Amino acid sequence: MSAGTTRHTIRIEDDLWDQAQAKAASEGTTVSERVRAGLREYVYGPEARHTIADSLVYLVPGAFEDLKGPASGTVQLPLHLDWGPDRVYDIGDDGSCSVLYQLTLQNSGSVDEMGGIINTGRLLALWPSMRLPGRCRHLWETAFPQLPHHRESREHPSWTTLSV
């Protein structure tokens, strides 16, 4: 507490205070700092947290018609999009094609590459069930209002939940 800060008093049960002091000490802080942080969050709202997903660049083609990928058959992703042992995806299988499109939408380095992999018709059919970071989904839905906004699944938890 700085010399110019007014001291305020609150009533707290002794047992709760002792437990709070022990926990704060184990975390390398003080009860006073935790109370101040809690009051700041209460008054100003939670701090904006920056995640890796916030830093990623998601490409979106200029026109929906630029997505001219195959409507059937298989696609082998280049190593920069999938470095697993089996990089071949079946366009006709919804699960396989969803993974293919999710990897491409999130990681593709060029709109041309994306356009050669993703097929407009298949994307429209799979869009509601695809698991994408919220910002990626928002960019695509803003650019292409013809994409269905009804979602069958939520975002993947790793994009929305912080690990402690």
> Read out DSSP for 37-106?
HHHHHHHH-PPP---HHHH------S-GGG-B--SSSEEEPPTTT--SS--EEETTSHHHHHHHHHHHHH
Specify the pTM.
0.64
Judge contact between 79 and 32, C-beta under 8 A.
no
CB 106 within 8 A of CB 56: yes
Residue 109: what pLDDT? 85
- Residues of the chain under the 50 pLDDT cut: 153, 163-164
Per residue in 95-107, pLDDT (tens digit) is 999 999 999 999 9
pLDDT of residue 47: 74
The burial class, CB within 10 Å (0-12 / 13-18 / 19+), for 74 is middle
pLDDT tens column, 60-103:
999 999 999 999 999 999 999 998 888 999 999 999 999 999 99
